[in-house]
Amino acid sequence: MISTILSALTVKDIRRKVAFTAVILLLYRFGAHLYVPGVNAAAIKSNTSLSGSGIFGFLNLFSGGALSQLAIFALGIMPYITASIILQLLQVVVPSLEKLQKEGEVGQARLTQYTRYLTVGLAFAQSIGYTFLFHSLPASAAGSIIPVCELITQRGIGNGISLMIFANIVSRLPSAVHTWFTSSNQVFKVVLPFLVLAVVAAIVFVQEGQRRIPVQYAKRVVGRRMTSGGQTYLPLRVNMAGVIPVIFAASLMAFPPTIGQILNTKWSIDLENFFSPSGWHYILGEAILIVIFTYFYTAVTFNPVDQADNLKKYGGFIPGVRPGRPTAEFLDKILARLTFPGALYLAAVAALPTIVYARTGENFNFGGTSIIIVIGVALDTMKQLEAQLMMRNYEGFLKN
């Protein structure tokens, strides 16, 4: 990894892209620390719900602490993420959106435009809600983050949305390390570094794990030429749903404690205590929801019938499996077997920090969801750097 970074910095074009990405992320983090005019900073910081385990604490984590300060970037990129998820889910039930998804770059550009419109609406609604919540007159200017994300994607290195989430989460790392270093629990201080290393290794192993389905292409006549057949493979990842099921599950499980904090009645307090993040009810409920959402989101993002139709259309087939419906059934069977260990992996990583907190009483403030996102974005960015280097090497080869 270090050699890849050093090699990338020797190329002027890549060095310019890395510098552009770094500058944009620094400006974004600067805006996450600028209070909206008229905000009582002391009153905002004294609100414990923003640093707890409720839904506001969850959103504050993804905004890099900007929500707890009601900064001008308080909403972070959550409206964009929510809009993207909503559009992906609607593609399953709305035929016109499903048709756009199959139209290549033109359809994808139209879906991106719809995502922007929906993001603006969600950001406007959420900013008004936060304004009334914190009793502040001005609203958050989160809409300005949308073009910044796209600038990083177009002119920088990596995906702008993912890198902003990465920056927000990593900004909380110093406080997490300080919590570990100042802990009075000696067992916690000794065991935690080894536990973190083991979790990181497990995440990398599973994130990169895939089942390669061999695909054979027959010879075809294109125009007046005969194209030779070839053999490739269809990669099916163990964790095709990414971190989305964990976000869905955490949001739903954070809802009952949040209701208890807002209503502050006897039954709502009992509900809050029942779904306390340190209790086994919370851990079990979150694990079940993660498994359900993993299967659901995998089914949304990967359609075996469409894959089988595409293979048949271009003359491809899986050796030993008939084209068409038998291929779709074969892929669906393989995908169901792969999704189960992937779902258990997500549930285990998400529940591990809660279990550690329940056993030791120490809150590391860096949950399993955060670790999955950070490692996933780091791996994806390194792959893009390697692709950029490979492209430059091929150019040099062709010029010589």
Look at the block and give the residue holding tokens 């900013």: 127
Q: Taking the domain 1-172, which CATH number applies?
A: 1.10.3370.10
pTM of the full structure: 0.70
Q: What is the pLDDT of residues 78-133, one digit of tens each?
A: 777 778 778 877 877 788 888 887 777 788 788 888 888 888 888 777 777 666 65
H or E segment and range at residue 210: strand 210-217
pLDDT at 61: 64
* Distances, alpha carbon 337 to alpha carbons 18, 320, 327, in Å: 39, 19, 16
Q: Per the structure block, which two tokens stand in for 78? A: 């959550």
* Distances, alpha carbon 367 to alpha carbons 173, 348, 350, 370, in Å: 11, 12, 7, 5
How does residue 400 score in pLDDT terms, banded at 50, 70 and 90?
very low
Q: Per the structure block, which two tokens stand in for 354? A: 């809660």
* SS3 category, 156: coil
Q: Taking the domain 182-365, which CATH number applies?
A: 1.10.3370.10
Question: Where does CATH 1.10.3370.10 sit in the chain?
Answer: 1-172, 182-365
Q: What is the pLDDT of residues 34-62, one digit of tens each?
A: 766 656 656 665 554 555 545 566 666 66
> Does residue 396 surpass a pLDDT of 50?
no
